[in-house]
Amino acid sequence: MSQFDELAQEFLAQKRIAVAGVSRSSSEAANGIYRTLRDKGYEVFAVNPNAETVEDDPCYASMQAIPGGVDGAILVTNPEQTTQIVQDCVTAGVPRVWMHNNTLMPSSVSDEGTAVCRENGIKVIAGGCPMMYFDPFHKCMKWVLDKMGRLPAA
């Protein structure tokens, strides 16, 4: 098993997960991840400082605003926002961060944010997509990326 798979499976073994970057538009990638996790039985928390509700659920302005905290955060934002949200994760005591990377679209990965995670003992996955473990199309994409050597290294 690759180091990416080990980190991803450990991340997805958690049950309280925040998804930052969700939108009032349900067609966004973050919303798809949010819905999938919710439908799979995770306790998920939408994070967007500009929305009160997302996907008919409460939305939180920051990681610190989530009651009881979370076990991990998936960031589907631009790299500049990712770095800011990572700082919020540090303050909120979030132990795991997954920075989303859609192979065909812009990435959420931030080198600065990744460094902040590592400096603060946060387990970080800098790339890839959680959907690779749920959706058949994404599972095939994971297989292709693995064969091409394009899965993120831990």
Q: Is residue 154 part of a domain?
A: no
- How far is Cα 88 from Cα 62, in angstroms, rounded to an integer? 7
Report how far residue 133's alpha carbon sits from residue 126's, in angstroms, rounded to the nearest whole number: 16
Q: Is residue 77 part of a domain?
A: yes
Q: DSSP class of residue 90? A: H
* Residue 153 domain-assigned (yes or no): no
Tokens for 34?
Answer: 């949010």
pLDDT tens for 77-136 read 999 999 999 999 999 999 999 999 866 666 899 999 999 999 999 999 998 889 887 876
Whole-prediction pTM value? 0.90
Give the count of domains, the chain.
1
Confidence label for 47 from pLDDT (cuts 50, 70 and 90): very high
Give the CATH number, domain containing residue 54: 3.40.50.720
**How confident is the model over 52-83, as pLDDT tens digits?**
999 999 999 999 999 999 999 999 999 999 99
b/e map of 38-56 (b: 16 or more CB within 10 Å)?
beeebebbbbbeeeeebbe
